[in-house]
Amino acid sequence: MAKISVKEWDMVKTLNEFRIQVESQDTKAYLSAQKVMSKLMNEVMEAQKHDREVAYIKGRLDSGEPMLDWAIHPDGSLRYQCRLFVPSDELLREKVLKECHHSAFAVHPRGTKMYQDLKRQYWWNGMKKEAEKFVAKCLTC
């Protein structure tokens, strides 16, 4: 780090503003950043570890069987079209729906908007219908 130019130093300062650390070893520099994940996503990933359907799909993927749109993410979670698969746990799915609908940033979205927000990160079979039912039961909406 002793031999960096002014331009490189500006880059290091900018990276530090985003809490990205620059470490140097010998003549190489390494970048690192903290990974932030919601508590709910962690709960979903933990639930996947105990779900039979997840185990079945992961087993098929591990055996090399092609399963269109399914993948095991580098963090070990099961994803469908790059979205976190939520196991068939009614309470967990209800929690996901509540977080999406009652979030300070969401401001009680209607069914279609809520589904669009949900499908950016999560997936389960019948999610759209469940989102619409959830919104229909909301007394605020």
Tens-place pLDDT, residues 34-64: 454 578 999 999 999 999 999 999 999 999 9
pTM value surpassing 0.75:
no
Counting residues of the chain whose pLDDT is more than 90, the rounded percentage is 49
DSSP state for residue 9 in the 8-state scheme: H
Tens-place pLDDT, residues 70-103: 999 999 999 999 999 999 999 999 999 988 877 6
Distance, CA of 87 to CA of 53 (rounded, Å): 8
CATH 1.10.340 residue ranges for the chain: 39-136
DSSP per residue, 84-100: EEPPS-HHHHHHHHHHH
- For 39-136, CATH number out of 1.10.3430, 1.10.540, 1.10.340, 1.25.40 equals 1.10.340
